């Protein structure tokens, strides 16, 4: 599909190879795409039925094939930044950090940040509030690594919230726990064989032996009131009852526990929001220090490539026009794995309005953006790849006059298996037949067409 599109653009005279940008997910797939593109051009140019103008274009493209940009999105961004380093605020001799080097530099930045906090009154106040809430600065180390990986997110909402007064609720809950444990006339030999009993005894013990009545001490106990009711043995809670009485008592205990979980849900949410309010300013400051350190040393992370390139296109329309004039046709494979910052870069570079700064509202120049993706294969959410981004860009393309083409021909599977799947799979999806493919549970089933010429071998 991607190779066909590349060859067609050149063969029809729509584009020259120097105007083509083909983006894939990995270096390996980029090398494979470049190889297949070259092979297709070599085959096409030998077609005896080819009109002379088309043969001339293909021959020229083959001679200049290295002018095509085929690589990962990070490689493409690096190319843009190396062309305009000064305008991007970078050292012309910029150096890329490999994963190991990035980890070492990040750790150094975190250690330095610990010293800087003491020199800033606002940050020191946040640190003191966190320590009073049971969180040390060193506890944020792993959160810092996650935070900097989302470098394009510049503002994290963190509304100030007062710590909850959980004392009265916790006192009443522990009184109820004591009553329930007294009701359970279980011999000491059998203690420990019931998960609910263990849970309640642990809560009561933690409450009675708490260090003090500060918020952190009380909330440490309150955090036990989460999750489903632990398993319990009916006969241990009502030894002398009949089976139906024991079952009713079990249901009562489970309902009672669920009530406690509900009662503590809001205080726990409020407690976490209180700590979150003090965590975010520290992480933002640490992120900024790390960025300054990388900039001072002329070194970039892979995330920097995306963020810096997108910022350059967004803030300098003149530079964007220059890039867009040279890179007129962007083709992106595995688009279901694209994150928002990559989508911003692509939509800005293909925007019809050279002055547009908001990628979410741009109109795409006709024919300038071609993406291939399968929403069923969107698996990189941990890297901020979001199927919502895929769907948003797809909709922007259609709103700009583009077309959606469904690829339903199966070239890998034998006819017998394709027919069996087409016959069997619609039924499990029938319950959602009236839903769109954008429903929360994912795309529905689409029948395939046989594309293999052979009927044997493989699956």
Distance separating alpha carbons of residues 403 and 401, to the nearest angstrom: 7
Give the model's pLDDT for residue 432: 58
pLDDT in single tens digits along all 459 residues of the chain: 789 999 999 999 999 999 999 999 899 999 999 999 999 999 999 999 999 999 999 999 999 999 999 999 999 999 999 999 999 999 998 899 998 999 999 999 999 999 999 999 999 999 999 999 999 999 999 999 989 988 788 788 888 999 999 999 999 999 999 998 888 766 555 555 688 989 999 999 999 999 999 999 999 999 999 998 898 878 777 766 677 888 888 899 999 999 999 999 999 999 999 999 999 999 999 999 999 999 999 999 999 999 999 999 999 999 999 999 999 999 999 888 888 999 999 999 999 998 899 999 999 999 999 999 887 776 665 566 678 888 899 999 999 999 988 888 888 888 889 888 888 888 776 655 555 444 454 556 778 888 766 645 554
Which CA distances in Å does 293 have to 110, 296, 300?
11, 5, 10
For the question of whether the overall pTM of this predicted structure is more than 0.85, the answer is no
Question: What is residue 20's three-state secondary structure?
Answer: strand
Burial of 417 (0-12, 13-18, 19+ CB in 10 A): middle
Lookup: tokens for 380: 């990189």
- Return the CATH fold of 2-94+301-405: Rossmann fold (3.40.50)
Distance separating alpha carbons of residues 340 and 389, to the nearest angstrom: 6
| Domain spans, the chain | 2-94+301-405, 122-135+151-297, 407-459
CB 158 within 8 A of CB 276: yes
Give the model's pLDDT for residue 456: 54
Please provide the distance, in angstroms rounded to a whole number, between the alpha carbons at the two ends of the chain. Answer: 21
Lookup: tokens for 75: 């490689």
CB 234 within 8 A of CB 247: yes
Cβ contacts of residue 280 below 8 Å, gap of 6+?
156, 158
Give the model's pLDDT for residue 430: 66
- The beta strand positions in 276-390, using DSSP E, are 299-300, 329-332, 369-371
Give the model's pLDDT for residue 439: 47
Distance separating alpha carbons of residues 369 and 333, to the nearest angstrom: 11
Angle between helices 167-183 and 195-208 (to 10 degrees): 130
């Amino acid at each position: 599909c991607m190779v066909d599109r590349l060859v067609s653009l050149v063969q029809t005279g729509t584009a020259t190879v120097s105007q083509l940008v083909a983006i894939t997910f990995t270096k390996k797939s980029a090398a494979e795409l470049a190889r297949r593109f070259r092979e297709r051009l070599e085959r096409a140019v030998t077609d005896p039925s080819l009109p002379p103008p088309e043969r001339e274009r293909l021959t020229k493209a083959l001679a200049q094939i290295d002018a095509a940009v085929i690589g990962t999105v990070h490689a493409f961004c690096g190319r843009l930044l190396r062309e305009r380093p000064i305008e991007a605020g970078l050292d012309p001799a910029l150096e890329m950090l490999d994963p190991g080097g990035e980890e070492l530099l990040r750790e150094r930045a975190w250690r330095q940040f610990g010293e800087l906090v003491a020199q800033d009154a606002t940050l020191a106040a946040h640190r003191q509030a966190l320590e009073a809430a049971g969180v040390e600065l060193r506890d944020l180390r792993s959160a810092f690594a996650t935070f900097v990986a989302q470098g394009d997110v510049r503002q994290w909402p963190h509304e100030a919230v007062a710590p909850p007064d959980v004392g009265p609720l916790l006192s009443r809950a522990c009184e109820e726990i004591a009553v329930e444990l007294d009701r359970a006339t279980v011999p000491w030999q059998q203690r420990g064989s019931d998960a609910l009993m263990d849970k309640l005894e642990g809560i009561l013990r933690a409450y009675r032996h708490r260090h003090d009545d500060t918020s952190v001490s009380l909330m440490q106990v309150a955090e036990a009131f989460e999750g489903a009711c632990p398993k319990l043995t009916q006969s241990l809670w009502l030894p002398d009852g009949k089976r139906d009485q024991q079952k009713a008592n079990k249901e009562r205990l489970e309902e009672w526990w669920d009530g406690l979980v509900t009662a503590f849900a809001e205080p726990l949410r409020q407690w976490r929001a209180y700590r979150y309010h003090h965590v975010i300013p520290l992480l933002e400051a640490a992120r900024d220090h790390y960025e300054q350190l990388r900039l001072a040393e002329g070194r970039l992370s892979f995330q920097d490539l995306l963020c810096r390139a997108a910022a350059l296109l967004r803030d300098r329309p003149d530079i964007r026009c220059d890039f867009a004039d040279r890179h007129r046709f962007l083709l992106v494979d595995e688009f279901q794995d694209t994150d928002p910052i990559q989508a911003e870069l692509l939509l800005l570079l293909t925007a019809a309005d050279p002055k547009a700064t908001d990628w979410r509202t741009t109109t795409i120049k006709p024919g300038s953006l071609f993406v291939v993706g399968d929403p069923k294969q969107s698996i990189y959410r941990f890297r901020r790849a979001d199927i919502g981004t895929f769907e948003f860009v797809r909709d922007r393309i259609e709103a700009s006059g583009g077309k959606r083409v469904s690829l339903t021909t199966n070239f890998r599977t034998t006819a017998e298996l394709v027919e069996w799947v087409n016959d069997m799979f619609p039924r499990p999806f029938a319950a959602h037949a009236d839903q769109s493919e954008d429903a929360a549970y994912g795309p529905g089933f689409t029948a395939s067409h046989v594309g293999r010429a052979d009927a044997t071998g493989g699956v």
